[in-house]
Chains A and B, each alone.
Chain A
Amino acid sequence: MSIGLINHLKSHRSEAGLTQAELAEAVQVSRKTINTIENRVFIPSTVLALKIAGHLKVSVHALFELEE
């Protein structure tokens, strides 16, 4: 599942001063979903990625990038 996708969600979330639970509640998913995204176990859909990026006020490209 984690092939080829790097994410910087944890660092951006920490910069925003949010816990996993707070971010999860803001984007209407479970804390486990945020946790699995951060641990590169689960790749979110485009919609969820946009919601997370919007809440953290960063672009999706800042959160996710393809591995070379």
Chain B
Amino acid sequence: MCKEEGYLISSYKSTNVTLTLQLISPICNSKVTQRENEMINSPEQISHIRTATMGFTGIICLAYASLVVITGQPQPMSPWIPGVAGVLTSIVIFGSFMAAGSKNAVMATDELYASQQSKAAQIGYWVALAMYPIFGLLIMQDLLSLSLAFPIMATLTGAAYLLPFAYLTCSRT
């Protein structure tokens, strides 16, 4: 990284005089232009967007499962909402990566991210597996109908990955 780059960016932002920048350092100026063109300038911003959207979708999934239990109805709200939230989340995350550029995208998917998402996936996997015997017993005991168990298990499976991921990425700073 050019040592003058940080100064140049702040100078550019404060004065908006591109001609001066070009006179000071034409080499760094190309980097400044590249940075300015990127709407998202740091891997932290991508991480925040990723955590927020995935956490939000996880909450929707958990809320859906909770509402099924509370209301006793398999469709307490539109059944499309969790799915649409998931699709929108993926679009927002993909868009943020595109806007940030490849360098920031690589930095935002480094080995800390891989470790955190791996842990979240482990939790999600075991929770999803554990739900089968638990819900099987509840259905056998006539404490829960199959029509209610299906949406609860489906949405909890999503929440079991999304919420731990959001928690891990928020807490380990």
**Looking at the complex, which one of A22, A30, A35 makes contact with B108 (CB distance below 8 Å)?**
A30
Scan residues 23-54 of chain A and give those whose CB is less than 8 A from a CB of chain B: 24-26, 28-33, 35-36, 41-42, 44-45, 48
**Binding-face segment, B79-87, B109-117, B126-134, B149-157:** B109-117
Complex Cα distance, B113 from A36, in Å, reads 11
Contact with A along B22-52 (1 / 0, CB 8 A): 0000000000000000000011100100000
Interface size for B (C-beta < 8 A) is 16
Complex Cα distance, B172 from A31, in Å, reads 12
Known: A25-B1, A25-B107. A30 touches B113 (CB 8 A): yes
**Looking at the complex, which one of A25, A26, A30 makes contact with B47 (CB distance below 8 Å)?**
A30
The count of A-to-B residue pairs whose CB atoms sit within 8 angstroms is 45
Which chain A residue lies CB-closest to B106? A28
Contact in complex: A30, B44 (CB < 8 Å): yes
Which chain A residue lies CB-closest to B114? A45
**Looking at the complex, which one of A29, A35, A45 makes contact with B173 (CB distance below 8 Å)?**
A35
Q: Tell me which residues across on chain B come within 8 A of A41, comparing CB atoms.
A: 172
Mostly helix, strand, loop or mixed at chain A's interface? helix
Q: Tell me which residues across on chain A come within 8 A of B173, comparing CB atoms.
A: 32, 35-36
**Looking at the complex, which one of A30, A35, A42, A48 makes contact with B107 (CB distance below 8 Å)?**
A30
Given contacts A24-B43, A30-B110, A31-B42, 4 further A-B contacts (CB under 8 A): A25-B107, A29-B110, A32-B47, A45-B111
Q: Using CB atoms and an 8 Å cutoff, list the residues of chain B in contact with chain A.
A: 1, 42-44, 47, 103, 106-108, 110-113, 115, 172-173
Q: Using CB atoms and an 8 Å cutoff, list the residues of chain A in contact with chain B.
A: 22, 24-26, 28-33, 35-36, 41-42, 44-45, 48
Query: What are 9 A-to-B residue pairs whose CB atoms are below 8 Å?
Result: A24-B107, A28-B103, A30-B43, A30-B108, A32-B173, A33-B110, A35-B173, A36-B172, A42-B112
